Amino acid sequence: MQQGRFSDLFQRLARSNFRSRFHLKEKDRQYIQEKGMDTIRSHARDFVRTRLAPAQIPNDGKQTPMRGHPIFLAQHATGCCCRGCLYKWHRIPQGVQLTQNQQDYVVDVLMTWIEKENTGK
């Protein structure tokens, strides 16, 4: 787990009333257990690549549902739900395609939140 790597980020997110209200539900934990963390990471990569990485997103700010998949919750909890939030929380610029390193960073943030929530640590 990379929780230490993101400790400053998670401390800032914890101070946000909006971001701190997101938590995995039992249904999400069951889904993670059934699919496994490798599959969840694969889903995260796909969601980031298709919904967040393009330079221009027609429905930016509305492309991430509030429920339906553990990664969607993680995106809202970590400020990785749209390009505006990516800039606000992570200083990743808007209007340009995300690099592979930036996509990997976002996936690592999402998976760290999932692991933290799933283990309760």
Spatial CB neighbours of 97, under 8 Å, sequence gap ≥ 6: 53, 54, 55
Contact 87, 117 (CB under 8 A): no
Q: Which pLDDT score is estimated for 2?
A: 61
What does the alpha-carbon distance between residue 28 and residue 70 come to, in Å, rounded to a whole number?
Answer: 6
Stated pTM of the model: 0.92
Residue range 1-35, pLDDT digits in tens? 465 789 999 999 999 999 999 999 999 999 999 99
Q: For the chain, how many helices (H) and strands (E)? A: 6, 0
> Running DSSP on this structure, what letter comes out for residue 63?
S
**Residue 73, CA distances (Å) to 39, 55, 69, 98 in order:** 16, 23, 7, 21
> Running DSSP on this structure, what letter comes out for residue 97?
P
Residue range 55-76, pLDDT digits in tens? 988 877 777 878 889 999 999 9
Q: What percent of the chain has pLDDT over 70?
A: 97
